[in-house]
Amino acid sequence: MPIYVDPDICDNSKDCPAASYCVPLALEFDNEKGKIAYDKSKCKSCGTCVHHCGPGAIYLAKDDEELEMLVEELNKLKEMG
Ligand code: SF4
């Protein structure tokens, strides 16, 4: 179950509570890039980050296929305004 962090919603806070609750450090503030970075290879698909993201930028999908569909739908909605 991979996650998707919507870049239009994520506030890229250094104090991101979702990242602070991510035990395997799959979500971390990247000091070089100045934004939140997600490392799928470290992600345990626990879903904890989804519940701790203040702005609601994180989506959890059951597999890569569902994640792809979800991102497509989100982008379509954005295009519609
Ligand atoms: S689903 Fe769990 S392991 Fe993956 S990024 Fe979120 S908190 Fe970290």
pLDDT tens, 16-72? 999 999 999 999 999 999 999 999 999 999 999 999 999 999 999 999 999 999 999
Name 74's Cβ contacts closer than 8 Å, sequence gap at least 6.
4, 6, 59
Q: Using CA atoms of 35, 27, 15, 32 in order, give the dihedral in degrees to the nearest 10.
A: -30
| Number of domains observed in the structure of the chain | 1
Name the residue range of residue 35's domain.
3-80
Band of residue 9 on the pLDDT scale cut at 50, 70, 90: very high
Token representation of residue 65: 């296929």
The residue whose CB lies within 8 Å of the most ligand 1 atoms, and thus the one to mutate among 22, 25, 51, is 22
Question: Any residues with Cβ below 6 Å from ligand 1, and which?
Answer: 3, 21-22, 24, 26-27, 43-49
Query: Which residue is listed with tokens 């994180």?
Result: 58
Question: What is the distance in A from the centroid of ligand 1 to the CA of 23?
Answer: 8
Read off the CATH number of the domain in which 39 is found: 3.30.70.20
Angle at 35 between CA 2 and CA 14, to 5 degrees: 105
pTM: 0.89
